[in-house]
Structure 1
Amino acid sequence: MLPRRRNAARFAGVLVASAVVSGGVFASSTAAQADEQIPVTVPTFAADDFIELAAQLPATLREAIERDLGVAPEQYLANAERARAASDAATVLRDRGVDVLGASIDGQDVTINVASEADAAVVEASGARVVVGPLEALESEREVQPARDHKGGYGYAYQVSEPDETGAFDLSRCSVGFSGYDPDGNSRFLTAGHCGVSEETGEQFTYPVHHIELDGPIWGTEDWAAEFPGPDLGEFVPGSFHYGDEHDGGLVDITDPEWTAVPQVAGWGGGAGAPDDASVTIRGPIDAVAGAQACKSGATSGWTCGEVLVPVQSTPVGEQAVTGFIFNACMLGGDSGGSVVVGNYALGVNSGSTHDGRTDCDTWNPAQSPTSDGDFSIGYSLATGQYNALTLLGNEWELAVAVATPVVASPEDGGETGPRPTFTGTVEAARSTHKVRLVIDGEQTYEGAVTDDGAFSVAVTDELAPGEHTYEITASYGNFSRSAAAEGTFTSTEQQVEELAVSSPSDGQTTGNARPSFTGTGQPGATVTLTVGDEVFGEATVGEDGSWTITPSADLPVGERFDATVTQSFEGDSQAVTVAGLGITVPPVTIAEPEDGATVTGDVVFSGTVYPGAELTLAIEGTVTESSERVQTAADEWAGELEIGEDGSWTFTPDEALENGEYTLTASAAVEGGDPELTTSETSVSFTVAGEGDDELPDTGSSNVWMIVVGVALLALGGVAIAVRARRNGTTA
């Protein structure tokens, strides 16, 4: 609400409206915009495609899957990939502004829960069933006890009290969650937060941590205590243990040089065998998806499997509240901190369960749904929801991931290439979170990206000298997880390839066309590709005359400066030219009513268009026609109604008509955070008000000029109109 000012002969009014609606780069996080982007899909996976991988699983783990889940191992792996795809789709949709409340899976059937019908319309193209509303929450009177008692799943033990007069002291034990690294690349593992916090004082333990040597799960025996302290392992990371306030995570440094952490989870022979029998390799993290088949590893009960009942829920664990996923695999005291996996993906760590002090899983009665009676467990998520280990401890810890050695498809080992070859191939089980690194002759280094199906491409941008060269390609995840190197040789031959050139657009050029054509010259028969960042916007073949043209297949970034790269590939030769600082201007603000030069009545409704997501400012000024027949009275407040549609169309309707006179209306638009050169625009129209009636705007009598100032913020995703008002200021200009 801004003041209105008066002087003797003129008036001015200002209307500010924030039209936050879908459209363009600046609203790419909204649901309505998401459906204009590449559709999000959730692919299905056939069990037959996983028979070979299933055969590589430890026999005892296959037995646990069949025993606890009632499915074949290959179906378990197919369902795990479907769960990962559902998890990835939910993450992408959230990044695009869709309010995803959760995802669930039943075999290969995926359901995504969203907050509104508008969100549902975006998700419909994914191939998943869409439900508006939250997932079902667990309702149970059962008490959840912390599984208090050390490769993921190992048991570890530690002193929790000072010795008494007899020299005796209390011990506790827990299980290792997932191996990883500290910021310097040293070994550090994730476990449950309650393992390292005193029940009596709430303070973190500072005693050393020791590995428990086991040849099978502990179950109910206390023999492990007689061997304490056992092999040295490490120490609690100071300040890293958090139990309560929805968290249950902590970190332990592996300080003994005898130990080397690996990205594996102890397999316990698939159930009750030795911990190193049938270990499971960790390929990366996964979000919790309802219905996903999850298996847990812990020092007390070894491997057990079940299903995720609820992906995210706050639940009392002991005396504290922990937010995590609820699943129905058996978990006993001492399993706390152990690993929970979906296939080869890290889901979270064991937090607590309804074990009621039992020492075996024979009487475990798994709950079959969130509303059914039965036993259930809580897992503290690695990455799901607001409260998770990576959010809590991500600055102090990085998950260790096994990265497969790249398989090079091109160029062939020992083969010939042009002077700028492009290396392509695959990395098994890798995703877009991975990277590849190519080193030529041990000196020249090039980076490349990996797609979600594991394919990679690395272009050598420098011209290599003719002759034989060596190469090494490694794949990586995060800062410290690395693959072994794929090595080979190739011969670079002299090749007369026409240089790639871009003739249009030029550096720094701007245009209002979101799909401007790129033109240039190059090697006849070569393939040229247009990219912005990691996204491909089109490709073409260079003609016999050496010319090429690419028209983008989708709108380029609007309202912000960006670099576009054109890459030419020809018989192993690769060249790239970058056009820097390009800009696409947003559509300018317009005034449709009144038209410039028009004569209108005093009850005119202003209308026009503005770029969705822009801030709209209307200013009106003019000279009122004097009338000796008019008796002018005071008015303290003027009101009107502003409406801005999702497509940016706007109208402003004053509640009281304008007086007869000559006016100029100016509309200005700007996008917050955008490049002003690309996102600001202004237009004006002049018009005359001429008409009769009693609805003319009154004046105070002290002048023939008035001013309206109006401030309003409008969220127009739902098309809601908000009243526009101006208040009189008693001072004079």
Structure 2
Amino acid sequence: MPEQDYPGTFRDRDQQRAPAHAAPHDTPAHAAHAAHAAPRNSAGWTFAVIAVALLVAAVVFVGLQTSKIPTGTVEDRQAREEVQTPPEELAPAADGESGEGQPFELINQILVPEFAVWAPGTKIQSTDHYPQAGVTFTAQSCTVAFSFSDAHGRNFAVTAGHCGKEGDLVFPTNAVYATDYAQEAGRFIYSDLYSPGSEGVDVGIIEITDPNRYMEVVGDPIPTGIGEQLPPIEQVCKTGGTTGYTCGYFVETQRVQIVDTDVDDERPTFGDIAAVCAASGDSGGPVFTQVNGRAVVIGVVSGTEAGRTGEECWEGMENPKMMSYSNVEQLMSVVTKVVPEPAFTTQTW
């Protein structure tokens, strides 16, 4: 492996400069610029992971019989159903003819889960134990790329592998009281950075154990459609719990990175690179592109170049910071390895 330079420490999340949020289904005009930066010369890059460890002190309170977390209205749940399991829309016909002289269509094959509990951009926090009232604990904040179910009715979510280890507990980000932490919303069952037999892909799988738990989502969630077969892409966007929706452009594929997961814990991984702003807490969020006017997931946020020196980043900056992400081929290889019978259908958008 080429020699790497190692990342520094992130600034606190309140020091990150968050850009204005772009509408999730629209392409920001300034993000589609043609001035693409040339790829870096280094054979391998170093990215700091962008999960943030939040030291939570004296925020878990006792004495309450009911949780203060909102349950979500019927309207909220109905509004999310279409983005969690979106309907099929046929792709428009492209100009040209097939080899047999017949008009052809541009076919974009999209994987859609038969059932999805959490929308893309769901915010989570994870710990390795049940927090106790009055006791300081550390929770790691991340974002979920998408969720799906299997043939047996179990529910799962995909996030970054460095966001948790097997057995880590997952809670809503707005959990405050002891009763909120008495029962987890999910549990990490696999990390391709930590689990035995892993291959170094920064993808983790959560089993959702409480599908009725109310979970906060970043803005208006994008549809849960995974781009299984797409033409070459240019624009790349992401959703994250800290910086929201930001867009940029594709740079390079299958590059080696070093992710700084814990103190003195640096692990090699590999993935695609895009010039997109990301920051602490965005890890695990969906990376997406536009296909015939609809957002399609093409990866999972892994790391950011901005985290190496604590530099700020924002959408449209002159010298954009690079973001690494695990692509669809990588993330689906982890999904099918961990969940033998995932329930997806193939659509054409």
TM-score strictly above 0.5: yes
Q: Among 348, 355, 378, which residue is 2:299 paired with?
A: 348
Q: Among 294, 300, 324, which residue is 1:378 paired with?
A: 324
1:132-165 per-position Cα deviation (integer Å, ceiling 9, x unaligned): xxx9776278641001139111210122468799
Aligned pair in 2 of structure 1 residues 141, 282: CA closer, same or farther (>3 Å)? closer
CA contact (8 A) 1:289 1:308 kept: no
Instruction: Provide the C-alpha distance between the structure 1 equivalents of 2:284 and 2:129, rounded to a whole number of angstroms.
Output: 21
CA contact (8 A) 1:315 1:323 kept: yes
Amino acid at match of 1:209: V
State how 1:559-570 maps to structure 2 within 5 Å. none
Aligned-residue CA RMSD (Å): 4.0
How far apart are 1:331 and its partner, in Å? 1.0
How far apart are 1:289 and its partner, in Å? 7.0
State how 1:192-207 maps to structure 2 within 5 Å. 192-197=160-165, 204=166, 206-207=167-168
- Normalising by structure 1, we get a TM-score of 0.30
Aligned pair in 2 of structure 1 residues 63, 342: CA closer, same or farther (>3 Å)? closer
State how 1:259-658 maps to structure 2 within 5 Å. 259=213, 268=218, 275=219, 277=220, 279-286=221-228, 292-318=234-260, 319-343=266-290, 344-356=295-307, 358=310, 361-362=313-314, 365=317, 374-383=320-329, 388-397=330-339, 430-431=347-348
Question: Whose RCO is larger (CA < 8 A, sep 6+)?
Answer: 2
Structure 1: runs of 5 or more not aligned: 1-57, 72-105, 107-134, 198-203, 214-223, 269-274, 368-373, 404-429, 432-453, 455-733
Q: Among 47, 50, 53, which residue is 1:147 paired with?
A: 50
CA contact (8 A) 2:302 2:326 kept: yes
State how 1:55-94 maps to structure 2 within 5 Å. 60-61=23-24, 65-70=28-33
Aligned pair in 2 of structure 1 residues 178, 230: CA closer, same or farther (>3 Å)? farther
Q: Among 229, 234, 240, which residue is 2:186 paired with?
A: 234
User: Which residue pairs with 1:212 in the alignment?
Assistant: 173
Instruction: Provide the C-alpha distance between the structure 2 equivalents of 1:282 and 1:138, rounded to a whole number of angstroms.
Output: 35
User: Which residue pairs with 2:67 in the alignment?
Assistant: none
1:610-629 per-position Cα deviation (integer Å, ceiling 9, x unaligned): xxxxxxxxxxxxxxxxxxxx
State how 1:90-129 maps to structure 2 within 5 Å. none
Aligned pair in 2 of structure 1 residues 145, 345: CA closer, same or farther (>3 Å)? same
Instruction: Provide the C-alpha distance between the structure 2 equivalents of 1:351 and 1:157, rounded to a whole number of angstroms.
Output: 16
Structure 2: runs of 5 or more not aligned: 1-20, 53-117, 261-265
- Matched residues, number: 246
The structure number with the bigger radius of gyration is 1
Aligned pair in 2 of structure 1 residues 138, 179: CA closer, same or farther (>3 Å)? farther
SS at match of 1:281: coil
Instruction: Provide the C-alpha distance between the structure 2 equivalents of 1:302 and 1:225, rounded to a whole number of angstroms.
Output: 23
How far apart are 1:59 and its partner, in Å? 7.9
SS at match of 1:355: helix
SS at match of 2:29: helix
Amino acid at match of 2:235: Q
- Normalising by structure 2, we get a TM-score of 0.58
Amino acid at match of 1:190: V
User: Which residue pairs with 1:173 in the alignment?
Assistant: 141
SS at match of 1:392: helix
1:451-489 per-position Cα deviation (integer Å, ceiling 9, x unaligned): xxx8xxxxxxxxxxxxxxxxxxxxxxxxxxxxxxxxxxx
1:109-136 per-position Cα deviation (integer Å, ceiling 9, x unaligned): xxxxxxxxxxxxxxxxxxxxxxxxxx97
Amino acid at match of 2:172: H
User: Which residue pairs with 1:248 in the alignment?
Assistant: 202
CA contact (8 A) 2:22 2:28 kept: no
How far apart are 1:294 and its partner, in Å? 1.3
SS at match of 2:119: coil
How far apart are 1:314 and its partner, in Å? 1.6
Aligned pair in 2 of structure 1 residues 401, 342: CA closer, same or farther (>3 Å)? farther
CA contact (8 A) 2:255 2:272 kept: yes
1:586-645 per-position Cα deviation (integer Å, ceiling 9, x unaligned): xxxxxxxxxxxxxxxxxxxxxxxxxxxxxxxxxxxxxxxxxxxxxxxxxxxxxxxxxxxx
Instruction: Provide the C-alpha distance between the structure 1 equivalents of 2:342 and 2:32, rounded to a whole number of angstroms.
Output: 27
Instruction: Provide the C-alpha distance between the structure 2 equivalents of 1:145 and 1:246, rounded to a whole number of angstroms.
Output: 15
CA contact (8 A) 2:246 2:315 kept: no
